[in-house]
Amino acid sequence: MKPEDTSTSRRDVLLGVTTGLVTAVGAHTFAQESGTSPRPKPGVTHPADPNPATEYPRPPFPKQQQPWPGLVSKMDPLPDHGEMSYRGSGRLVGRKALLTGGDSGIGRAAAIAYAREGADVAINYLPAEESDAREVIALIRKEGRKGVALPGDIRDEAFCRKLVADAVDQLGGLDILVNNAARQIAQPSILQITTEQFDTTYKTNVYAMFWITKAALPHLSAGSAIINTASVNAYDPSADILDYASTKGAIAIFTKALAKQLAKEGIRVNAVAPGPVWTPLQPSGGQDPAKLPNFGADTPLGRPGQPVELAPLYVLLASHESSYSTGQVFGAVGGRGGP
């Protein structure tokens, strides 16, 4: 199959997400439990062509823009979060996770994967993202796990404290924290970055991580994991997202320093540094609209990553399998190098 045909067929499959996905997932889960089909291998199941350069959509993409914060359901092509492909293997059974930005993008993919690995999951998102969040919660609950929806704006310190308290209360504890939500607004010059934009970006990306982590720490114990989402921009910044890139550098250093503080307590702290990933962040102001059709084309793989491709890293870093990894920044950048 040609790459452009692969892109079209995947888009057609994913268009069923909002209308029939939960039913399909539920049927597949029932088939596994009833023994009518063999247990699939853990991780992400792939199409017949395993070539990482061609198995997911490649640029050029249709021109598109959305108002911030953007919705998965309005993207073309639809991102793949593992709704139909991620299969768990019990690596997080009994764990309790809180993820920010869990309605879409990388946070959504991690939330789905965590539930399929056996964890109960609480997700935070903005009220404007409710329709996307409902899909995620439905998928979590279809796995027989507890799914908790906690909408609100993490730019507010008091809300961040309440977010953690509500997650702990409704999940019955907490041992995985994923600080993932982000704000990104492309501007060609520092002269066009207002103080308001700069403040919003730092409040969302850095302050919220600080506030939420402080609130969560009293509830974490040995064996717990904190995972922060950094970026390739932490060490190879794009010129038109100066404020965003600087927050990602701060996140990488915050991760390394906190890991040293918490190592003796047996709490691991790591970060994932993605390259270009196809999420609502991009068409809702994160990229210059004129550049968006070729988003990810400059990577050696010639395409952006899909959120599902990041999910296994978040599972690994939350699980005991990575027990000797702390203070690390793990790259997934499509071949452009790593941190």
Q: Report the catalytic residues.
A: 244
Structure-block tokens of residue 154 = 């993490």
Burial class (CB in 10 A: 0-12, 13-18, 19+), 235: middle
Whole-angstrom distance, CA of residue 336 vs CA of residue 222: 35
3: Cβ contacts below 8 Å, ≥ 6 apart: 54, 58
Whether the bond into 60 is cis, omega within 30 of 0:
yes
Structure-block tokens of residue 137 = 């919660």
Rounded to whole angstroms, what are the CA distances from 208 to 37, 75, 101, 159, 222? 44, 27, 12, 10, 23
First to last CA, the chain: 35
Q: Residue 6, Cβ neighbours under 10 Å: how many?
A: 19
Structure-block tokens of residue 93 = 């059974």
